[in-house]
Amino acid sequence: MNDVQPKATIVIFGATGDLAKRKLFPSIYKLYQKGKLAEQFAVVGVARRPHTDESFRHYVKETIEEATKQELIDEKFISHFYYHSLDATNTQSYEQLNELLTRVEEQFHIPGNRIFYLAMAPEFFGTITSHLKSEGLTATNGWTRLVIEKPFGHDLQSAQRLNEEIRQSFSEEQIFRIDHYLGKEMVQNIEVIRFANAIFEPLWNNRFIANIQITSSETLGVEDRGRYYDHSGALRDMVQNHMLQMVALLAMEPPIKLTTDDIRSEKVKVLRALRPMTHDDVETYFVRGQYGRGIVRGQQVVGYREEHSVDPNSNTETFVAGKLMIDNFRWAGVPFYIRTGKRMTEKSTKIVVQFKDVPMNLYYRTSEHVHPNLLVIHIQPDEGITLHLNAKKSGESMKTTPIKLDYCNNCIDGINTPEAYEKLLYDCMRGDATNFTHWDEVAASWSFVDPISEVWANTKAVDFPNYEAGSMGPKKADELLQKDGFHWWPLNGTM
Ligand SMILES: NC(=O)C1=CN([C@@H]2O[C@H](COP(=O)(O)OP(=O)(O)OC[C@H]3O[C@@H](n4cnc5c(N)ncnc54)[C@H](OP(=O)(O)O)[C@@H]3O)[C@@H](O)[C@H]2O)C=CC1
Ligand SMILES: O=C1O[C@H](COP(=O)(O)O)[C@@H](O)[C@H](O)[C@H]1O
């Protein structure tokens, strides 16, 4: 695990697809540029489309140049790429793939370490893993690991089936289920902020925290993923994985040690402590939305139902807001509000921890109210932490004024998804599964989400579309907090 330059072949199934192009190839290149890949590495792309090694290298080079906006001059890097055309459902071609891998390993002196990265639709996962085992691709002198993209199933039952299929060929220790939010710098920072600061941990409970708000808003629509998204929706696409993972990191108990198992086991306890939604609860605790036409960043955009490959009468939600309760000693009574959606006002992921008010306002003669203290964790596009406090308004006798203590982790705006993939790929190569999701977390997340999706699948949302593209979602999402005497804190920092 401490090998700083891991030696391995990365076999990418789905190498001609969108994920490989936009995220995986640029991440591998950045690892190489940073000296994190040894000379003993290779990448073997796999998909049905015909390619020679040469034409594949040309394609990879172009995609990296496009993604990084740099001219890729390093021909040596690109010479580590190979291609094998294969229909994933056809057993025979796996034998040839194995021959290619063995040849490549000999050429670059790679000691049989193989990462099989499945950047393909999940219906192929079972078939591919079973062929990898039956055709001997996992029987090497080194280690073999499997990286799996989301969505991991469509609900608990399908996820269980998928897991059982995969587990026929790979053990839990070999499986790396990607949740790219866990690779984001400031998501990884949540633990450090909590557990390395004496000032926060004593306050991190229901005695001092009034509520926690997590927003992940996007300006993009569904782009060319309408076919996938219309069967998924925001609940499965964002809440079941990224949003619940952030809740788990914010709410978990301090792990005994910073080991993968200790952290995962604390996270899973939180997910299991989420108050289950009965079908009757769904309307009270959750709000769904779908965007109509509107203006996003000055551009007129179409409504969701007009998007490519989307059913014109679609009942699929592109926005979710919810109130989650964690039934344990630490969090009893503290709402965790989550909100995520497409075609919203801005691209932003932020966590706001709102502390309880001071017991009384001593400054009532001069200041009608004292602002609550907030700890804001900026995940993206800006990365940092802001602590909102009150101070004396200068020149005025005992009048309070809100002030901010700001730390900027990365002041240059830039969406850090590729960086997240870069980190996670490197972690996988080094065998560190801490920032990947264990099956128990996946299962607990589906158990929480399933009753909500069942209710939504069985009741038509008569008010869809119920938010304008370019807005912060439907009114009901605001009312969810107003009922509790709270409101969403603005994302732009003007609090
Ligand atoms: N794109 C993204 O931003 C994200 C994607 N994901 C997940 O990653 C996975 C891949 O997504 P994405 O790249 O967008 O999908 P694409 O549809 O763009 O790519 C699919 C890939 O699978 C290959 N493929 C399809 N059928 C076969 C087959 N029978 N045998 C061999 N190869 C086949 C295609 O190549 P060919 O046609 O040449 O065979 C292509 O390379 C999905 O699970 C998705 O949910 C997760 C998060 C974000
Ligand atoms: O997993 C997904 O995440 C992206 C949002 O990721 P971000 O890093 O840009 O915040 C989302 O657009 C996509 O629908 C979803 O599948």
| CA–CA dist 272, 327 (Å, integer) | 9
User: Which residue's CA lies nearest to atom 16 of ligand 2?
Assistant: 237
The pair of structure tokens assigned to 290 is 């779908």
What is the reported pLDDT for 493?
62
Atom of ligand 1 nearest to the CA of 180: 47
CA pseudo-torsion sign 396, 402, 407, 411: negative
Of the candidates 45, 112, 114, the residue with the CA atom closest to the CA atom of residue 82: 45
435: DSSP letter: T
CA 471 / ligand 2 centre spacing (Å): 18
What is the reported pLDDT for 68?
85
Q: Are residues 430 and 304 in the same domain?
A: yes
Q: Convert 197-214 to b/e letters by CB count within 10 Å (16 or more is b).
A: eeeeeeebeeeebbbbbb
> 396: exposed, middle or buried (C-beta count within 10 Å: 0-12, 13-18, 19+)?
exposed
Give the number of other CB atoms < 10 A from CB of residue 250.
22
| CA–CA dist 341, 234 (Å, integer) | 7
CA 285 / ligand 2 centre spacing (Å): 24
Check the annotation: does 219 bind a ligand. Answer: no
Return the amino acid letter for 102: T
Among all residues, which ones are annotated catalytic?
242
Check the annotation: does 180 bind a ligand. Answer: yes
Of the candidates 318, 261, 257, the residue with the CA atom closest to the CA atom of residue 441: 261
Check the annotation: does 76 bind a ligand. Answer: no
Antiparallel, parallel or unpaired: β 467-469 and 291-296: parallel
What is the reported pLDDT for 369?
84
88 lines ligand 1 (CB under 6 A): yes
| CA–CA dist 393, 374 (Å, integer) | 19
From 97, 130, 149, the end of a domain falls on: 149
> 109: exposed, middle or buried (C-beta count within 10 Å: 0-12, 13-18, 19+)?
exposed
178 lines ligand 1 (CB under 6 A): no
What is the reported pLDDT for 415?
47
CA 464 / ligand 2 centre spacing (Å): 22
Query: Both ends of the chain: CA-CA distance in Å?
Result: 44
The CATH number given to whatever domain includes residue 311 is 3.30.360.10
Check the annotation: does 42 bind a ligand. Answer: no
Q: Confirm if 442 and 242 have CB atoms less than 8 A apart.
A: no
Q: What are phi and psi of 87, to 5 degrees?
A: -90, 120
Q: What is the ipTM of this complex?
A: 0.97
| CA–CA dist 462, 471 (Å, integer) | 20
User: Best mutation site among 184, 231, 238, 318 for ligand 2, i.e. most ligand atoms within 8 A of its Cβ?
Assistant: 238
Q: Are residues 391 and 444 in the same domain?
A: yes
Q: Are residues 246 and 311 in the same domain?
A: yes
424 lines ligand 1 (CB under 6 A): no
The CATH number given to whatever domain includes residue 52 is 3.40.50.720
What is the reported pLDDT for 494?
55
Residue 126 falls inside a structural domain:
yes
Residue 132 falls inside a structural domain:
yes
User: Best mutation site among 11, 16, 19 for ligand 1, i.e. most ligand atoms within 8 A of its Cβ?
Assistant: 19
Q: Convert 279-314 to b/e letters by CB count within 10 Å (16 or more is b).
A: eebbeebbbbbbbbbbebeeeebbbbbebeebeeeb
Q: Are residues 216 and 341 in the same domain?
A: yes
Q: Are residues 345 and 287 in the same domain?
A: yes
Q: Are residues 139 and 251 in the same domain?
A: no
CA 230 / ligand 1 centre spacing (Å): 16
Residue 161 falls inside a structural domain:
no
Q: Are residues 134 and 275 in the same domain?
A: no
Residue ranges of E strands in 367-491: 374-380, 383-392, 400-410, 467-469
Atom of ligand 1 nearest to the CA of 87: 30
Q: Are residues 248 and 291 in the same domain?
A: yes
Q: Confirm if 80 and 45 have CB atoms less than 8 A apart.
A: no
Long-range Cβ contacts of 480-484 (<8 Å, 24+ apart):
480/285, 480/287, 480/321, 480/322, 480/323, 480/337, 481/211, 481/323, 481/337, 484/211, 484/323, 484/335
User: Which residue's CA lies nearest to atom 4 of ligand 2?
Assistant: 238
What is the reported pLDDT for 409?
84
Structural domain containing residue 399:
182-483
17 lines ligand 1 (CB under 6 A): yes
Which strands sit side by side in the sheet containing 374-380, from one edge to the other?
286-289, 319-325, 335-341, 209-217, 348-355, 374-380, 383-392, 400-410
| CA–CA dist 28, 39 (Å, integer) | 13
Of the candidates 395, 393, 412, the residue with the CA atom closest to the CA atom of residue 403: 393
Residue 127 falls inside a structural domain:
yes
pTM of the shown model: 0.95
Check the annotation: does 388 bind a ligand. Answer: no
Check the annotation: does 154 bind a ligand. Answer: no
Residue 106 falls inside a structural domain:
yes
Ligand closest in space to the Cα of 240: 2
Residue 2 falls inside a structural domain:
no
Q: Are residues 131 and 199 in the same domain?
A: no
What is the reported pLDDT for 431?
96
Q: Are residues 332 and 468 in the same domain?
A: yes
Antiparallel, parallel or unpaired: β 175-177 and 144-148: parallel
Q: Confirm if 114 and 94 have CB atoms less than 8 A apart.
A: no
| CA–CA dist 436, 430 (Å, integer) | 13
Give the 3-state secondary structure of residue 257: coil
Q: Are residues 114 and 226 in the same domain?
A: no
The β-bridge partners of 145 are 115
User: Which residue's CA lies nearest to atom 48 of ligand 1?
Assistant: 19
Return the amino acid letter for 141: N
User: Best mutation site among 22, 120, 229 for ligand 1, i.e. most ligand atoms within 8 A of its Cβ?
Assistant: 120
pLDDT by residue for the chain (495 residues), tens only, comes to: 556 889 999 999 999 999 999 999 999 999 999 999 989 999 999 999 999 999 999 999 999 999 888 887 788 999 999 999 999 999 889 999 999 999 999 999 999 999 999 999 988 999 999 999 999 999 999 999 999 998 899 999 999 999 999 999 999 999 999 999 999 999 999 999 999 999 999 999 999 999 999 999 999 999 989 999 999 999 999 999 999 999 999 999 999 999 999 999 999 999 999 999 999 999 999 999 999 999 999 999 999 999 999 999 999 999 999 999 999 999 999 999 999 999 999 999 999 999 999 999 998 888 888 899 999 999 999 999 999 999 999 888 888 999 999 999 876 555 444 589 999 999 999 999 999 999 999 999 999 999 999 999 999 999 999 999 999 999 999 999 999 999 999 987 655
> 277: exposed, middle or buried (C-beta count within 10 Å: 0-12, 13-18, 19+)?
buried
| CA–CA dist 384, 392 (Å, integer) | 25
48 lines ligand 1 (CB under 6 A): yes
What is the reported pLDDT for 74?
83
Of the candidates 324, 323, 317, the residue with the CA atom closest to the CA atom of residue 288: 317
| CA–CA dist 52, 359 (Å, integer) | 71
Check the annotation: does 49 bind a ligand. Answer: no
CA 246 / ligand 2 centre spacing (Å): 14
Of the candidates 485, 490, 495, 493, the residue with the CA atom closest to the CA atom of residue 390: 495
| CA–CA dist 89, 177 (Å, integer) | 22
Residues contacting 399, CB < 8 A, separation 6+: 363, 366, 367, 392, 393
| Total of domains in the chain | 2
Of the candidates 290, 319, 282, the residue with the CA atom closest to the CA atom of residue 456: 282
CA 388 / ligand 1 centre spacing (Å): 44
CA 242 / ligand 2 centre spacing (Å): 9
| CA–CA dist 136, 56 (Å, integer) | 25
Residue 389 falls inside a structural domain:
yes
The β-bridge partners of 274 are 326
Q: Confirm if 241 and 459 have CB atoms less than 8 A apart.
A: no
Atom of ligand 1 nearest to the CA of 86: 31
User: Which residue's CA lies nearest to atom 5 of ligand 1?
Assistant: 19
Quick one: how far is CA 353 from the chain centroid?
20
What is the reported pLDDT for 92?
84
Q: Confirm if 149 and 19 have CB atoms less than 8 A apart.
A: yes
From 149, 172, 193, the end of a domain falls on: 149
Q: Are residues 339 and 466 in the same domain?
A: yes
Residue 346 falls inside a structural domain:
yes
From 127, 149, 171, the end of a domain falls on: 149
Task: List residues near ligand 2 (CB under 6 A).
Answer: 218, 237, 349, 415, 417
Q: Confirm if 125 and 165 have CB atoms less than 8 A apart.
A: yes
